[in-house]
Structure 1
Amino acid sequence: MAFAVLLLSPDLSALGYLQNVKVGSVFYNLFHTYTIPAVIILCGFLMENSFPLMIGLIWIAHIGMDRMFGFGSSLILWITSIIIWLIGRKKLKLANNAR
């Protein structure tokens, strides 16, 4: 039971999307990179404590499962949506100037 809770807990970072897309993307990407769990694992080794080691390994397993199922970084989706918005805005401006 605890394993399942810990395995899914990084997805709580998606709550940032309740604020807006930018905050959601920042939180999601922060919790879905290998940097933080790698530091936690290193701390577990240095402190000779298995608890941080367990947390870090479960976190890495979560990230790996997300990647396996095709859930990549939301930063790419965010940048893509901004580019599409900018292109659409430019086309609308050009259409309004043509009138």
Structure 2
Amino acid sequence: MSDLSSPMRGVLRFEAVLVLILSVVIYHGQHYSWGLFAACFLIPDISFLAYALGKKAGAIGYNIAHSYIGPALCGLVFAGTQQPHWLMAALIWGAHIGFDRTLGYGLKYVSGFADTHLGRLGRKPQR
């Protein structure tokens, strides 16, 4: 598991805030449906169901749904096709990931849900 220093964790969370804001600003600028945004925003969290199959399957499922690779690929498909649903998917998905990372929910290690690339979830042990 990663043990990030506070400054590094802060940089990664700030980066996530910027992804969230940029995704929302572009989405707004395209005049897409906010109802659709709300309806689709939590779709990546369906990946939690993979944890029913164990920690390893859960981490893999979660990480596939919460990596910026998926939204980036959707953006590339949009760039090639100019079909707006690809950009909508990229922006909603990217906003979701940015939101989660802002809250400290990073990519998961197979050791457990609380072990993330942003550090361990939960309160720090008191000394």
TM-score, structure 1 as length reference: 0.74
Residue 21 of structure 1: aligned partner: 55
Indicate which of 80, 91, 97 corresponds to 1:63: 97
Paired with 2:70 and 2:60, the residues of 1 have a C-alpha distance of 14
Q: Which has the higher helix share?
A: 1
- Supply the RMSD in Å over aligned alpha carbons: 2.1
> Which residue of 2 is the match for residue 87 of structure 1?
none
Gaps of 5+ in 1: 82-99
- Aligned mates of 1:2, 1:29 — CA distance in 2: 24
Which residue among 55, 62, 73 is the counterpart of 1:39?
Answer: 73
Moved over 2 A (4+): none
Q: Does 1:73 align with 2:107?
A: yes
Higher strand share: 2
Amino acid at match of 1:13: S
Shift of 1:72: 1.1
Which gives a bigger RCO, structure 1 or 2 (Cα 8 Å, sep 6+)?
A: 2
Partner Cα separation in structure 2 for residue 77 and residue 32 of structure 1:
17
Instruction: Report the Cα distance in structure 2 between the residues aligned to 1:57 and 1:43, rounded to whole angstroms.
Output: 13
Aligned partners of 2:48 and 2:58 also within 8 Å: yes
1:77 deviation in Å? 5.0
TM-score normalized by the length of structure 2: 0.58
* Higher Rg: 1
Distance in structure 1 (CA, Å) of the matches to 2:52 and 2:93: 23
Shift of 1:76: 6.9
Letter in 2 for 1:3: F
